[in-house]
Amino acid sequence: MSLEPIDAESALELYLADKENELSEASLKGHKYRLGHFVRWCDEQEIENLNTLTGRQLHRYRLWRREDGDLNKVSEKTQMDTLRVFIRWLESIDGVEQDLSQKVLSPSITPDETSET
């Protein structure tokens, strides 16, 4: 399989267009908002082609996002779960290495932590 170069902003636009018919407007807005932080991070890190993304970079993003957004565990989980869905979608269009989505780590939360939000 050969990857086709794609930048984060273009990938997000394609992803949102693809999900338009599957997700509610509110869910679509949520994905756009959460993934917008990833696009911003890619810009700051000068990642111009998502083909080069690694598990280590995704971990750095998670730490950056936690710090940048002052996120609690539940919010961090939501952010990273959305990113995993996006990365899985990118795998389907040859935008990133296969199985990269499995390297998107997300915190485990207890039912008690979920009810605190």
Angle in degrees, CA 111, 25, 72, rounded to 5: 30
Question: pTM (2 decimals)?
Answer: 0.92
Average pLDDT over residues 9-34: 96
* CATH number of the CATH domain containing 54: 1.10.150.130
2 inside domain: no
Q: Encode pLDDT of 89-105 as tens digits.
A: 999 999 999 999 999 99
- Domain residues for the domain of 94 are 8-115
96 inside domain: yes
Please state whether 72 falls in left (phi above 0), alpha (psi between -120 and 50) or beta: beta
Would you say residue 1 lies in a domain? no
pLDDT at 116 over 90: no
**Cα–Cα distance for residue pair 75/80, rounded to 1 Å:** 9
Render the burial of 59-91: b for 16+ CB within 10 Å, e for the rest: eebbebbbeeeebebebbbbbbebbbbbbebbb
Domains identified in the chain, total number: 1
Tokens found for residue 113: 């932590």
pLDDT digits (tens, 9 = 90+) for 41-86: 999 999 999 999 999 999 999 999 998 888 999 999 999 999 999 9
108 in a structural domain: yes
User: Does the residue 32 lie in any domain?
Assistant: yes
pLDDT of residue 112 exceeding 80: no
